A and B are shown apart, each in its own frame.
Chain A
């Protein structure tokens, strides 16, 4: 029963992958060992690249892809919804509990310490994104060799624009589009 298998595998992934970002990838890796035919000839790096290049969270992308390869469109839907079912229940319960107790001094203090800590955590994840975009090789192998100068210039220009009051209100998608066009132009040289 392929649909039941898909449901159980991705429900488990949704239930146990904490921390987001690429937290679902180790689970996908395990699945690839257990059910190789779900992913065809693709490797984990291929799955990550496809997930990166298509809209949406990596976990959902991977689930849809595996579900489709294993069981067609219905398989894709089963896998994707199995993945988010634990989030739906758990987050809803926590959000309700939090709203009820927002006034309590304990919750207030906890939120005041959580906010800066999570800011640091997000900054670390951002650093990973920035590094992947601006450096080709691992930095260990030589900082100056690893730098993609064209990308650094593009990054500096875009970041500079994001500090101009009128421009920074523009929807982020226009920056992505500009980046894509600049990427194609830079590829010509």
Chain B
């Protein structure tokens, strides 16, 4: 029960502080789950992220479910998902009911312009540390570049990146056997 509560609280924090796409949760996850709680390593976090890309669903929720399941089985997964959803649901309800008028306020627009820049800086530093821990050899460099090109320039689905990595993995495994 204590374990479930800790999972809920950790993901409540992450859910309240992430904005936009699931990728913005990465620095928060590293800080809370890897550094603060020590529940998983940076490598396992990368695995959770990889897995969250290739199964259906919202990445943030998938990552929460993955880490929750790993820490506390089905109850852990449920606690983590509930945690990551609580703040977004409350905030949207607030926006939909009372804050709709504030939306086009110029001060809000300026503030969010600055927040977006900060999110960009934080995510850049997260990607740099991710490259340091995950890209270790020539095959890794090639796959990393390929993943970037497939998404940023060819605009294909992330599914292709995952498929490519799986095919290369199978070939490597076949050669080593």
Question: Taking beta carbons and an 8 Å cutoff, which residues of A are in contact with B?
Answer: 14-22, 24, 50-61, 64-65, 68-69, 73, 76-77, 80, 83-84, 86-88, 90-92, 94-96, 98-99, 105-106, 109-130, 132-134, 151, 154-155, 158-159, 162-163, 168-169, 171-173, 175-176, 178-184, 186-187
Residues of B within 8 A of A98 (CB): 47, 51
A176 touches B119 (CB 8 A): yes
Q: Note all chain A residues with C-beta closer than 8 A to B121.
A: 154-155, 158-159, 162, 175, 179
Chain B residues with CB under 8 Å of A73's CB are 93
A14:B58 contact, CB within 8 angstroms: yes
Q: Is the CB of B118 within 8 A of A178?
A: yes
Task: Decide if B157 touches A68 in the complex (CB within 8 Å).
Answer: no
Report A-chain residues with C-beta under 8 Å of the C-beta of B22.
Answer: 20-21, 57
- Roughly how many angstroms separate A132 CA and B112 CA in the complex, as a whole number? 12
**In whole Å, how far is B65's beta carbon from the nearest beta carbon of chain A?**
4
Report yes or no: B113 in contact with A151, Cβ–Cβ below 8 A: yes
Evaluate contact between B56 and A17: CB separation under 8 angstroms. Answer: yes
Question: If the complex has contacts A122-B26, A124-B147, are A60 and B89 also in contact, measured as CB distance less than 8 A?
Answer: yes
- Which residues does chain B contribute within 8 Å of A87, judged by CB atoms? 55-58, 61-62, 65, 81
The 7 A-B residue pairs whose C-beta atoms are closest, nearest first, are A183-B114, A56-B88, A120-B147, A179-B118, A20-B59, A187-B110, A87-B57
Cβ A94 vs Cβ B55 within 8 A: yes
Residues of B bordering A, CB below 8 Å? 15-28, 31, 35, 43, 46-47, 49-62, 65-66, 69-70, 74, 77-78, 81, 84-85, 87-89, 91-93, 95-97, 103, 106-127, 130-131, 134-136, 139-141, 143-152, 157-159, 161-162, 164-166, 168-170, 172-173, 176-177
Enumerate 19 A-B pairs (CB-CB under 8 Å) in ascending A order.
Answer: A15-B57, A19-B157, A50-B92, A55-B91, A57-B60, A83-B58, A95-B51, A109-B176, A116-B144, A120-B145, A121-B53, A125-B21, A126-B127, A130-B120, A158-B121, A162-B124, A172-B17, A179-B115, A179-B118
Chain A residues within 8 Å of B119, by CB: 129, 133, 176, 179
The answer to whether A183 touches B110, judged by C-beta atoms less than 8 angstroms apart, is yes
User: What separation, in Å, do the CA atoms of A178 and B121 have in the docked complex?
Assistant: 12
Q: Knowing that A56-B92, A132-B120 touch, tell me 9 more A-B residue pairs with CB under 8 angstroms.
A: A21-B59, A56-B60, A57-B58, A57-B60, A87-B55, A124-B152, A126-B127, A129-B120, A162-B122
Contact call A125/B151, Cβ cutoff below 8 A: yes
On whether the beta carbons of A186 and B110 are closer than 8 Å, the reply is yes
Contacts of A176 in B (CB 8 A): 17, 19, 115, 118-119, 122
Bound Cα distance A69, B58 (Å) = 21
